[in-house]
Every structure is written in C-alpha cells, then in structure tokens.
Amino acid sequence: MAQGKRLTLGQIGEFGLIQRVERIFGRPNRPGLVQGIGDDAAVVKIGHNKALLYTTDILIEDVHFSLKYEGFLDIGWKALAVNISDIASMGATPTWGVISVGVPVSIPVDNVDKLAQGVAKLARKYRIGIIGGDTVKSPDRLVVNIALLGEAPVQDILYRHGASPGDALFVTNRVGEAAAGLAVLKDRWQLAVNGWPKIKKQIVKKYLRPEPRVKESVLIVKNKLASSMIDISDGLHISIKLLCARSKVGARVYLDKIPLNKQLSPPKADQPLAETINYQHALQLALSGGEDYELLFTVPQNKIRKALALFPHGWIGEITKDKICKVLDQNGREVITRNTGYEHFKTK
C-alpha cells in the first residue's frame, strides 16, 4: 500500500484502534478469563464464585483537563473517579489501586501533594486502598494514570452485552450538567436566570468533582434489575451505541424522556439554551456532552416496574432487534444526530 494510502488514527478513531488491538492480542490462553478487551473492565475468575475486575484510565493535561480552570485536588479526584465508575458500571466493588504520574520538574511540590490528596479523599470515601505506582519526569505536561481493581460474585457482574429486544433503557440520573459546567469554566455559557450563581456552582462541581454511581450500582445488582450496563462518561448517545453494538441490538431513545436539570433546559425544544460562541441546547449537552458518570442499563420487561420505583425518571427508551439506534422526538419523528460523544483520535 502506498504511503499516502495508509490509515491514520484520525480516520479510525479510538474504537477502531481498540478493535485492531483486540485482534492482535486475541484471547489469552490462560484459565480464568471471563471478559477481556471490549468492556469497561476486564474480568478474571479467581475462585468458585469470585472474580477480580481490572480497569485503567489515563488523564493528560490539555486533553482531559486544563490547569487554567481545574485545581490539582480536582484532577486527583477525577483520576480516581473515572476508574471507580468503570468498576461500578459492571456491578462490582472497587478495592485496590495504583497510581502513576508523569510530572514536569517545574511543578511545585505542594501541587503534587494536592493531586495525591484529591485521590486520597475519594479513595477514603469508597474504602479503596492506594498501594503503589510509579513516578516519572514529563517534559511539558502533567499525566496521571490509575489502575484499579474491583471484586464481585461472578453471577452479579454486568456487561455491555446482554441486552435483548424489548428491554427498557434506563439512566441513573440527570445528564448534561457536567458538560454545562465545563462550558461555564471555559466562559462559553452564561444564563440570565434567577439563582444563576447557585446553579453555576452546582454544575461546575458536577464537572470538577464527579460522583461515580457506586450506590446506584449496588441497588441495580441487589434488585437484579439489569441485563447489561455501561457508564456514560463519553456521552449518552455514543454509550447507547456501544452497548447496542456489543449486545447486537438496536435502540429507540425518546428525547422528551431524557432527564435534564430543568433549570438548564429551555421550555421549548427549539428555543436556545444560551447565546454562546458554540450555540448549545440542553438536549445536545445531554446526548453528546460527556463527563457524566451516570450508568446506562437495560431492564427486562418483568423488572421494569421495579426499576421505575427505584429510578422514577430513568426510563428513556427501549431495545429493538433491528441493530439501529434511533433518537425520536415527542411526535415519534426520528431526529438526525451527528456522531456524538467523545472519541480519542477521531478527526472525521
């Protein structure tokens, strides 16, 4: 193949790269593997009824965070939160973690202390032990990587596959607030509404200090509600597509059922939410904004009533057999959506 015809990462994107790497590594020829590449965490069986879960996430300055509007405490907190969310999305309990950092020599030592304190604060909240890691010099930017273990009974673990036609589609809580918080931090959003300072503080905190949905995960597992589950940190729309792809199904999602913060959403679907450089609507933020550490899960028909009792505003659609993910407005018309959500490398 000629040099000019070679594929680039910008063309295949993060998920295309994962598929290629998955083919290269194949399935390891070792006993105990339950789930490898392709879910929020890998799963290895370690006993008759027990499994360990492994996940890792890397945060890079000016890609995942900016020191212009995020503090070192916030960065440390989020670095662990993203990993906890991956473990929670599979119905498991986070247990032990290791942290590796790449740090420019010019960063003051007390800022590195704050980074560690941010990790430690969230780790204590969820009784996670941070037991090691690595430190290296980075030439020009801060890099933080955490690898986290979790555990669960084998039969309780939830995967992206498992959804069936007829299952209901649920989300644990409101979506779009974290993306709104980021827009505020970037000075791209200002709402002329009563109580704006309080609203602003709330949504900024949702972005800076995300709360992984561990309690909700426990509730879902305890009540055996879900047939599949994923976290939506990359965006609601793209997460629905990923879940459907792994389950080999489709979905119908109803815009008017997506739970929003009413203080941020306009009274009419076509009314601007804010006059900004990048004109945005609450629904667009909810679908594609990302940074929401909510859980998206599917519920078999005989469990829907129970799910509604526990998550009364969570129902947003249903799973279909046609392998097509459609977003519908309140009149049942399909809404044309671009490929929404965050995907590393993707340029086309």
pLDDT of residue 269: 42
| Cα separation, 224 vs 145, whole angstroms | 33
Give the pLDDT confidence score for residue 213 in this predicted structure: 97
Q: In what order do the strands lie in the sheet with 50-60?
A: 33-35, 42-45, 50-60, 143-153, 93-103, 129-137
Q: What is the pLDDT of residue 272?
A: 40
Report d(CA 102, CA 162) in Å as an integer.
38
Instruction: Tally the residues of the chain.
Output: 348
Provide DSSP, 94-135. Answer: EEEEEEEEEE-TTS-HHHHHHHHHHHHHHHHHTT-EEEEEEE
pLDDT at 184 over 70: yes
State the DSSP code for 301.
G
> Do 319 and 169 touch, CB atoms closer than 8 A?
yes
Indicate the average pLDDT of the chain: 88
Calculate mean pLDDT across residues 166-195: 84
The reported pLDDT for the residue numbered 340 is: 59
Helix (H, G, I), strand (E, B) or coil at 191: coil
Number of Cβ within a 10 Å radius of residue 89: 30
Residue 307: band (very low, low, confident or very high) from pLDDT cuts 50, 70, 90: very high
pLDDT at 186: 86
Question: Residue 270 pLDDT > 50, yes or no?
Answer: no
> What is the average pLDDT across 210-239?
96
Asked whether the predicted pLDDT for residue 188 surpasses 90, the reply is no
Q: Is the pLDDT of residue 278 over 80?
A: no
Higher pLDDT, 272 or 183: 183
If one looks up domain 168-328 in CATH, what number appears?
Answer: 3.90.650.10
81-113, pLDDT tens digit by residue? 999 999 999 999 999 999 999 999 999 999 999
Q: How far apart are CA 261 and CA 240, in angstroms?
A: 20
State what percent of residues in the chain have pLDDT above 90.
67
Residue 227: name the closest of 157, 149, 132 by CA. Answer: 157
Rounded to an integer, what distance in angstroms lies between the CA atom of residue 103 and that of residue 72?
Answer: 12
Lowest mean pLDDT among 115-119, 152-156, 219-223, 258-262: 258-262
**How many CA within 13 A on the CB side of residue 16?**
13
H-assigned helices in the chain:
9-25, 72-88, 109-125, 177-185, 196-208, 214-222, 236-247, 282-288, 304-310
Mean pLDDT of 121-127: 98
Mean pLDDT of 221-249: 96
Q: Which of 26-35, 177-186, 258-267 has the highest mean pLDDT?
A: 177-186
pLDDT band at 338 (very low <50, low <70, confident <90, very high): low
**Is the confidence at residue 59, as pLDDT, over 80?**
yes
| Per-residue pLDDT tens over the stretch 311-335 | 999 999 999 999 999 999 888 888 8
**Nearest 5 degrees, angle CA 268-CA 273-CA 274?**
150
> How many Å apart are CA 224 and CA 36, to the nearest integer?
23
Predicted confidence at residue 346, as pLDDT, reads 52
Show the CA angle centred on residue 161, arms to residues 156 and 163, nearest 5°: 90
Identify the band that residue 242 occupies on the pLDDT scale cut at 50, 70 and 90. Answer: very high
Tell me the pLDDT tens digit for each residue of 130-151: 999 999 999 999 999 999 999 9
Contacts of 175 (CB under 8 A, 6+ apart): 232, 236, 258, 259, 260, 285, 286, 289, 292, 294
Q: Which residue is listed with tokens 């597509």?
A: 241
The more confident residue out of 263 and 60 is: 60
Residues 6+ apart with CB under 8 A from 100: 133, 134, 135, 136, 144, 145, 146, 147
The whole-number pLDDT of residue 279 equals 31
- When computed from its CA atoms, the radius of gyration of the chain, rounded to whole angstroms, is 20
Mean pLDDT of 216-244: 96
Residue 120 pLDDT level (bands cut at 50, 70, 90): very high
Delimit the domains of the chain by residue range. Answer: 9-156, 168-328
Q: What is the pTM of this model?
A: 0.89
CATH class belonging to 9-156: alpha beta
Local confidence band at 265 (pLDDT 50, 70, 90 cut-offs): low
